[in-house]
Each structure stands twice: as C-alpha cells, then as structure tokens.
Structure 1
Amino acid sequence: MQINFSGLRALVTGAGKGFGRDTVKALHDSGAQVVAVSRTNEDLVSLSKECPGIEPVCVDLGDWEATERALGNIGPIDLLVNNAGVLLEQPFLEVSKEAFDRTINVNLRSVIQVSQMVAKGMIARGVPGSIVNVSSMVSRAAVINLTSYSSTKGAMDMLTKIMALELGPHKIRVNTVNPTLVLTHMGRKFATNVEFANALKERIPLKKFAEVEDVVYGILFLLSDKSAMVNGSGILVDGGYLAC
C-alpha cells in the first residue's frame, strides 16, 4: 500500500524522539512538508540534518502561552500528530500535584490547544484533514505506578471520540493509535524492570513488544485517505494484549 502526502503540510509534536521522530521521517519521505515540534533543540537540529526542509519549532507544550506564541501563526496544516508526552512513575499514594499537573498539561491539555489551532485553520480553509492522537494500551489496561500517565491516556481516548463527533461534519477525522510497550527512550525505563517486562510480554499472544515502525505505520494509515471512513476509533498496536 503506497501512501503519498505530496502537497500536504503536517505537524508532529514530540518530534525529537521515539514515535514522533520516526513519524516525521516517514512523512518527509512520503512527500509531506513537516513542522516538527519538540522542547529539545538538539533533537530538532539533528532531525533537520536527517530531513532537510522540515520546519523545526522548539517549545515546551506544557506551557500554554509559549505554545500559543510558537504555533499560533503556524499557517495551514492538513495532518496533525499529537505525540508529545511525559511519563512520570509514581505509586498512587505518592502522586504529587507537580507530577500530575505536568502530565496533564503535556499529555492532554496540549492536545486540545494544538488541535484547536489546527482544526480552526482547516475549517476556515474549507479543507478535510486528519488528526492522530498517540494514546497507549494503558488507557484500557491498568498498570501500577502509572496513575498520571494512564489517566491522561484514558482521557485522550474519550477526547478523541468527542473531537471526531464534533469535527467530523467538517470532514476532519480524529483517531488514536494505542501501542503496547515499545523500546523507545521512554519505553526502555520499563524494560529495565526485567520481571515486569517479562510478565507483560508473556501476556502478549505474539510474545514480543512492538517496534517503533509498527506504530508509525498505524499513524500513517490513519493520516491517509486509505482510512477515509475511520473516525473516532483506535488502532491497538499491542500484539493482542487486550484480547486476553
């Protein structure tokens, strides 16, 4: 299945590492003009060398005012990937206000803010669009020590449905990808807990974790017109974990 995004402009948050970085590369290779958003400038510098012509934007999406300044006049966007996220492990009884607020602001509030900017632009231009929110398997399966992270991903799944319901009449589709553990920079934190990682893998019928490309392919499918009737849904990239 060939996917071509020539002539389209995409915005990817959390573009410096993991899913976001590889999504930028894939979109760039598929002909899209890409706006890459990250709070780490060094990552954007190296990414720009790998993908000449991308538009790097360095901003902390947890800061509402800074995000407004950085992206408020970003121009027309046809495709949006809300991938930025933080994962702060804390047992439920030790969850701090600071950690919870930070997680909510980056993982959820920024999705609302950035999506509003992009969707309003699509509506004003009268063009269709596609938004993909990167969620997680833990939006549907409880995992210890992930109170803040799991809460934001559960909320993101419902937010996605609401966005799909309200933006659908404007021909803007909104969906999620929900991966299992992937050995990105964030995922490796869990893989170091061998007992946890083995127990998780044992429950996955395919007996393996997802690769970054597995998630990226799901994102590209949902962004493309190959998924023209997919709206308000989620692609589980979990190897069958939630089938058990």
Structure 2
Amino acid sequence: MTTAADPRYAGALRLDGKRALITGAGKGIGADIARAFASAGADLVLSGRDEGELGRAAAALHDEFGVDVHSAAVDLARADGPDTLAGMAADALGGLDILVNNAGVSYPESVVDTTAEAFDATIAVNLRAPALLAARVGAQMVAQGTGGAIVTVASAAALAPLPDHYAYCASKAGLVMATKVLARELGPHGIRANSVCPTVVLTEMGQRVWGEEAKAAPMIARIPLGRFAVPHEVSDAVVWLCSDAASMINGADIAVDGGYTMG
C-alpha cells in the first residue's frame, strides 16, 4: 500500500526566499556554508575582508544556483565594522532573515606567552564583532516583525579547553553565552539563536595545520568517531538550524565534534 509523503518533510530544509548574511564567507567553512545556503535557495550577502575573493565567490554562486548574491568587504575588527555591515547587508537584500556569524581568528600561543595584542585582537574579532553584529541584525529582525534565525559558528574549544588557545577558548566560550542571551531576549520576537561547535575541520587551512600525522594523532585519539570533521558536516548543521525543520531549537550549542567534548 502506497501512502502520501508527509507534507512536513516537503522542502523542510529549503531556504527559498530567505535573506542571509554570512561572515567569513570567502574561504573555508564560511565558503562551504555559503554554497550550502545558495543550494537551498537563499539569497545571500557574503562578508569578508578580501573584496576580490568575495566578488568571485558571489558571481560563481549566482551563476550556479540562480540566487541573488552580494558581497560586502568589511573589516569586523574595526569598532564600527558590525554597524557598517548590518546596514550594507540589509540594504542589499531589503532586510535579513538569517545571520551566520562565522568569521574568526586564532593566534595560538601558550598561557605564559600570551600577549595583550594577540588577546585583544582575538576578542575583537571572535567575540565583540559577532556579538555586536548579532545585536544590530537582531534589531533589524525585530523591526521587520517576521522572525529570523541567528547561528554562531563557535568551536569545540568553547566547551573543552585546548592548549595553546587561551584567548581563542575564552572568546568562543563567551560567544556561546552571548548567543544564549540573544536566544533569551529575541525569542519572544520569533528569532532563534543557536551555536554550532565544531572540532578541527579539514578546510584548506585545517589541512595545513593538522595534516601532519604526528600532530593530529593525539587530537584524533580524543574523538570517539576517530576523525576530524569536513566542511559540509558543519554546513549541514547550520542549514538545519536556519530551516523550518529546527523551528523549536533555540539557545542550543550543538557540538559537531564526533563526541570530542563528551569528556
């Protein structure tokens, strides 16, 4: 006996008609998220610092998927960066339904060697910028009155300590909590805010940093699945969190880490 498909699952992971801003979209995880969103039908603003790189990525996604794609080269390390980007993105698409806070930096150094300059630079990009950008975009979403979704790409380093990443761990842990505050305050307006916390992801940069077996082996040994993540595993989680399939998920931090942070 043949039964009709459950209409709940017809296009549940589609993002057609949604307007999304993705930071750090020029390469790595951000570029993969942008491709996943374009494939799911979302119109996009791609943000980063390299205008040429962003322009090429925007053109390629438009040509392949037919969605509206804009680029916005903004330095989020600047104090006025979040305000500038929020305004540019909303103007480009006529409003925003989704924000993916992905941009981040890391300056590995031991606790005893930590410098004020590296610590401040990490906090500025990894915590201050995404927190203020989410606040500005959140205000726009409240004014629109149509709800929205904010996803923070944090890190497993927000949930479990990682040697030689003092400032990085602190910044990502702070960002996870900031996202929970967004979820608490913006939830009554139909705006959901969640974090994803990946382990090492084998982007081009991830391959360079962790490609050496001797360095990777101790880390992999702590991951029950016995491997690092690949970019689409992060992107799939982000698409899901922004889709109607996750309509009751708010204030969660989802570890995309193969079990690393279980302890």
Superposition TM-score, scaled by structure 1 size: 0.95
* Alignment size in residue pairs: 244
Per the alignment, residue 21 of structure 1 pairs with: 31
Per the alignment, residue 217 of structure 1 pairs with: 236
Mapped partners of 2:241, 2:45: distance in 1: 18
Q: Which amino acid aligns with 1:137?
A: A
Deviation at 1:8, TM superposition (A): 1.2
Which of 168, 171, 179 is residue 152 of structure 1 equivalent to?
171
Q: Which amino acid aligns with 1:128?
A: G
1:104 aligns with 2:123: yes
Mapped partners of 2:38, 2:104: distance in 1: 22
Deviation at 1:67, TM superposition (A): 4.0
Q: Which amino acid aligns with 2:47?
A: V
Q: Which amino acid aligns with 1:83?
A: N
Which has the higher mean CA deviation after the structures are superposed, 19-28 or 60-69?
60-69
Mapped partners of 1:90, 1:193: distance in 2: 19
Which of 47, 52, 60 is residue 50 of structure 1 equivalent to?
60
CA gap 1:132/1:66 in 2 versus in 1, 3 angstroms: closer
Q: Which amino acid aligns with 1:65?
A: D
Mapped partners of 1:206, 1:69: distance in 2: 41
SS at match of 2:202: coil
User: How do residues 38-187 of structure 1 correspond to structure 2 at under 5 angstroms?
Assistant: 38-52=48-62, 53-75=68-90, 76-187=95-206
Q: Which amino acid aligns with 1:30?
A: A
Deviation at 1:189, TM superposition (A): 4.6
Cα deviations by residue, 1:143-170 (Å, 9 ceiling, x for unpaired): 1110111111111111111111111111
SS at match of 1:187: helix
Per the alignment, residue 229 of structure 1 pairs with: 248
Q: Which amino acid aligns with 2:168?
A: Y
Which has the higher mean CA deviation after the structures are superposed, 150-159 or 177-186?
177-186
Mapped partners of 2:30, 2:123: distance in 1: 19
Mapped partners of 1:143, 1:123: distance in 2: 37
SS at match of 2:160: coil
Which of 12, 29, 33 is residue 22 of structure 2 equivalent to?
12
Aligned partners of 1:61 and 1:110 also within 8 Å: yes
Deviation at 1:73, TM superposition (A): 4.5
Deviation at 1:64, TM superposition (A): 2.0
Mapped partners of 1:117, 1:157: distance in 2: 17
CA gap 1:193/1:91 in 2 versus in 1, 3 angstroms: farther
What's the C-alpha RMSD, in Å, of the aligned pairs?
1.5
SS at match of 2:227: coil
Mapped partners of 1:122, 1:5: distance in 2: 17
- Give unmatched runs, 5+ long, in structure 2: 1-8, 63-67
SS at match of 1:90: coil
Q: Displaced runs of 4+ in structure 1, greater than 3 A?
A: none
Which of 31, 47, 51 is residue 41 of structure 2 equivalent to?
31
Cα deviations by residue, 1:172-193 (Å, 9 ceiling, x for unpaired): 1000111010112442353045
Deviation at 1:197, TM superposition (A): 1.1
CA gap 1:193/1:144 in 2 versus in 1, 3 angstroms: farther
Aligned partners of 1:87 and 1:186 also within 8 Å: no
Aligned partners of 2:74 and 2:84 also within 8 Å: no
Deviation at 1:130, TM superposition (A): 0.5
Percent of pairs with identical residues: 38
CA gap 1:103/1:89 in 2 versus in 1, 3 angstroms: same
User: How do residues 195-210 of structure 1 correspond to structure 2 at under 5 angstroms?
Assistant: 195-210=214-229
Q: Which amino acid aligns with 2:193?
A: V
Per the alignment, residue 65 of structure 2 pairs with: none
- Larger-Rg structure: 2
Deviation at 1:68, TM superposition (A): 2.7
